[in-house]
Amino acid sequence: MKEMALSACPAFRIGQAQDEEARTGCTVILCEGGAVCGVDVRGGSPATRDTDALHPAANRRHVHAVLLTGGSSFGLNAAGGVMRFLEEKGVGRDVAVTHVPNVAAAALFDLKCGRADVRPDEAMGYEACENAWNRAAFRSGRFGAGCGATVGKAFGREYAMDGGAGAVLLREGELLVGAVAAVNCVGDVVQGGEIIAGAKDAAGRFLDSEAGILQNYASNRDFFSEKEGENTVLACVFTNARLDKAAMTRVAAHGQNGIAGTIRPAHSVFDGDVVFAVCSGEVAAHQDAVGILAAAAVARAIARAVAAV
């Protein structure tokens, strides 16, 4: 598989917006032509919008945008700005009197990183769409939904490191599969079996979040206090493959393998790990081939997110 520029998959436009002082932001993946979408919610503390409609049995044929946002549940308000932008562009379901965009979203918790009273809102969602529409360059690290992300909070926020956002596009023949990720996990990020980002002690040594959780398995108050609902890895897989909604739901599940391969522990009760998967339908491909690339793309996007901070 070969890495490509994100622009090599033109059916999708990726935009970011953030408030760097308040340490929060959002990232949008626009698919104005409509994209088949699946989702896999694996973590124990998710905050999502319009994901029930993505179930294979539901009557939702396409989405027109996926939003990854900070601000916890408050940040889901940024989806209103995404809808307003797309409606102005005439994008969405034609209902005669207007166009209704289908916008799915998921949020991560960053309220304790910067200012708790500043969250992604409609204006920020709209700005992210403008940047996407103009194909502004994607920035890895503390930008977009990764602006206020942190990793390695198992021992408490005082031991955590900055997380961030990352993106990558992979190519195998005519098949393109990419991923955008925002990394805000309770655990550590690993690569090649080694921790590359996570909880650190005062001397700068990694503490190993999994070992800490195992050593404190019986605690209900001290070690595990104030962690629930404050962590999440969000990702969106995008591809030019032609698959139905059930297959894209499976591709989203494959994307979760990328989280499991790079985050320890992954999918904890303290995390709200969510992966969306969207396809534009230009290339015939088996769902397992797309899934292999999806897992690899998510893993690389996560590593890129923390390497840039």
Residue 270's pLDDT band (cuts 50, 70, 90): confident
In this prediction, residue 25 carries a pLDDT of: 98
The residue-averaged pLDDT of 299-304 equals 98
Residue 308's pLDDT band (cuts 50, 70, 90): confident
Is the pLDDT assigned to residue 5 strictly greater than 70?
Answer: yes
Please give the CATH number for the structural domain made up of 2-307: 3.60.70.12
Average pLDDT of the chain?
Answer: 94
Cβ pair 101, 130 in contact under 8 A: no
φ, ψ dihedrals at 290, nearest 5°: -65, -40
In this prediction, residue 35 carries a pLDDT of: 98
The string of pLDDT tens digits covering residues 164-200 is: 999 999 999 999 999 999 999 999 999 999 999 999 9
Kindly state the tokens that stand for 255: 């994307």
Q: Give 19's strand partners.
A: 24
φ, ψ dihedrals at 287, nearest 5°: -60, -30
Return d(Cα 143, Cα 147) in angstroms, integer.
Answer: 4
CA dihedral 45, 265, 178, 240 (to 10 degrees): -60
Kindly state the tokens that stand for 111: 């309220």
The residue-averaged pLDDT of 237-256 equals 98
Kindly state the tokens that stand for 148: 């206020």
As a residue count, the chain comes to 309
Stated as kind and residue range, the H or E segment containing 125 is helix 122-133
In this prediction, residue 8 carries a pLDDT of: 97
Convert 104-155 into a string of H (helix), E (strand) and C (coil). EEEECCCCCCCCCCCCCCHHHHHHHHHHHHCCCCCCCECCHHHCCCEECCCC
In this prediction, residue 220 carries a pLDDT of: 54
In this prediction, residue 229 carries a pLDDT of: 61
Ranges 38-47, 165-174, 202-211, 223-232, most confident: 165-174
Cβ pair 68, 75 in contact under 8 A: no
Task: Please give the DSSP secondary-structure letter assigned to residue 141.
Answer: B
Return d(Cα 143, Cα 141) in angstroms, integer.
Answer: 6
Instruction: Say what percent of the chain tops pLDDT 70.
Output: 96
The residue-averaged pLDDT of 95-105 equals 97
Q: What's the number of CA atoms in the CB half-sphere (13 Å) around residue 252? A: 27
Cβ pair 232, 43 in contact under 8 A: yes
In this prediction, residue 306 carries a pLDDT of: 96
Other C-beta atoms within 10 Å of 87: how many? 15
Is the pLDDT assigned to residue 71 strictly greater than 90?
Answer: yes
Task: Classify residue 73 as exposed, middle or buried by CB count within 10 Å of its CB (0-12, 13-18, 19+).
Answer: middle
Q: Give 103's strand partners.
A: 65
For the entire predicted model, the pTM comes to 0.95
